[in-house]
Copies of this chain bind each other. A is one copy, B any other.
Amino acid sequence: MRIGELAERTGLSRDTLRFYERTGLLVSRRLPNGYRDFPPEAEPWLRYVRTAQALGFSLAEIARTGAELSAAPDAAERLSELFREKIALIDARTAELAALRADLAGRVGTGCPLAPA
């Protein structure tokens, strides 16, 4: 698939996709005319990238696990493992948010809401 189609499917700009390729986050073959040719997996991969990014990972970190992944013989199992790690991270993040929420809720309506918790 060429860059325009991938851009439309993922909602990312062409420039962003080229940028991702430069940083190793995305790979492509080249067509005889020099155009990039992305595999169909690029689309779900980019969805995953968004997820990881939303969890606070930098593009460099995501690229690193991506590279590690394509080198692994048991890629599917490794990826499942990554997903489990991300789930644990989400649970931790959720707990942090709950604590923050409790802290803020406790301050609502106090005379001096900026006082130390």
Contacts and interface: CB of A to CB of B under 8 A. Distances in A.
A104 B76 contact: no
Given A76-B113, A87-B104, 14 more contacts: A41-B114, A44-B114, A44-B116, A47-B116, A51-B103, A54-B100, A76-B112, A79-B113, A80-B110, A83-B104, A83-B108, A94-B94, A94-B97, A97-B97
Interface string A80-117: 10011011001101101110110111011111111111
Consensus secondary structure, chain A interface: helix
A19 interface: no
Interface centre among A55, A76, A104 (most CB of B within 10 A): A104
A103 B34 CA distance: 36
Interface of A: 41, 43-45, 47-48, 51, 54-55, 76, 79-80, 83-84, 86-87, 90-91, 93-94, 96-98, 100-101, 103-105, 107-117
A86 to B, nearest CB: 6
